[in-house]
């Protein structure tokens, strides 16, 4: 597979990694270790905890929407998965507006908060169509929104990641924060499903 377009990039990455190791700037295998560590802590349960806290704590919800990176640190989470912290923007669904996340260039995604991205999120079909026809794509996911609900599509990048706080389901007032977190799915945190 050496003729695959990504093989040139992979070779360059391996070369730079080897240079950094040979100059003592990285220890042998340090990058792989950091990636493994980062992926091990990433889970949709993390994002679910954040959404549930926002549902039960209006002050936290306000801080989360204003400065997501700062707010998630209150729960012990961070977007520092590499050499620099990625910017996290959290948007909240309401009766008037539904948010959905995409990365039109590749598959940028808050792994630390949602775990590894699902295959459909990386697909060219999702990445191109959700921008042009978000209502139709959401319908294919089984999410039928009222025509009056505005749909906002947020495009992630290498520097910025997005997460959706879904609308809290009606009739959940008596549930604990932990029980509420159990209702939240990765699709809900991306915006392709309701809770």
Residue 155: name the closest of 91, 191, 103, 97 by CA: 103
Q: Are 22 and 47 found together in one domain?
A: no
Confidence of residue 190 (pLDDT cuts 50, 70, 90): very high
Beta strands in the chain (DSSP E): 87-92, 97-102, 150-155, 160-165
From the CA atom positions of the chain, what is the Rg in Å? Answer: 19
Q: Which residue has the higher pLDDT, 188 or 82?
A: 188
Q: What is the pLDDT of residue 16?
A: 82
Q: What is the pLDDT of residue 28?
A: 78
Q: Are 18 and 84 found together in one domain?
A: no
Q: What is the pLDDT of residue 116?
A: 87
Q: What is the DSSP string of 151-162?
A: EEEEE--SSEEE
Residue 87: name the closest of 62, 99, 102, 70 by CA: 70
- Whether 185 is covered by a domain: the verdict is yes
- Whether 195 is covered by a domain: the verdict is no
State how far the Cα of 123 lies from the Cα of 134, in Å rounded to an integer: 15
Q: Are 99 and 132 found together in one domain?
A: yes
Q: Are 33 and 51 found together in one domain?
A: no
Q: What is the DSSP string of 99-144?
A: EEEE-SSS----HHHH-SPPHHHHSHHHHHHHHH-HHHHHHHTT--
- Whether 91 is covered by a domain: the verdict is yes
Residue 122 clears pLDDT 70, i.e. is over it: yes
State how far the Cα of 177 lies from the Cα of 173, in Å rounded to an integer: 10
Q: Are 27 and 56 found together in one domain?
A: no
pLDDT over 70 percentage in the chain: 88
Domain count of the fold of the chain:
2
Q: Are 47 and 129 found together in one domain?
A: yes
Query: Is the distance from CB of 85 to CB of 78 less than 8 angstroms?
Result: yes
Q: What is the pLDDT of residue 22?
A: 87
Query: Which are the catalytic amino acids?
Result: 103, 106-108
Q: Are 103 and 159 found together in one domain?
A: yes
- Whether 116 is covered by a domain: the verdict is yes
Q: Are 76 and 167 found together in one domain?
A: yes
Sign of CA dihedral 127, 121, 7, 2: negative
Q: What is the pLDDT of residue 4?
A: 47
Give the structural domain span for 13.
5-37
What pTM was computed for the model? 0.80
Residue 83: name the closest of 23, 15, 31, 39 by CA: 31
Q: For position 151, which CATH number holds?
A: 3.90.330.10
């Amino acid at each position: 597979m050496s003729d695959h377009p990504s093989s040139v990039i992979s070779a360059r990455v391996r070369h730079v990694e080897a240079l950094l190791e040979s100059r003592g700037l990285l220890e042998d295998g340090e990058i792989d270790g950091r990636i493994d560590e980062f992926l091990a802590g990433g889970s949709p349960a993390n994002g679910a905890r954040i959404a549930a806290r926002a549902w039960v704590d209006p002050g936290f919800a306000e801080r989360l929407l204003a400065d997501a990176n700062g707010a998630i640190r209150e729960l012990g989470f961070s977007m520092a998965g590499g050499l620099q912290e990625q910017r996290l923007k959290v948007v909240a669904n309401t009766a008037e507006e539904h948010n959905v996340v995409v990365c039109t260039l590749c598959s940028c995604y808050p792994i630390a908060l949602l775990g590894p991205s699902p295959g459909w999120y990386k697909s060219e079909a999702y990445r191109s169509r959700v921008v042009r026809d978000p209502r139709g794509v959401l319908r294919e996911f089984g999410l039928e929104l009222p025509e009056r609900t505005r749909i906002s599509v947020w495009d992630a990048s290498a520097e910025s990641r997005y997460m959706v706080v879904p609308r809290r389901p009606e009739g959940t007032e008596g549930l604990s924060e932990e029980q509420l977190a159990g209702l939240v799915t990765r699709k809900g945190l991306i915006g392709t499903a309701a809770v």
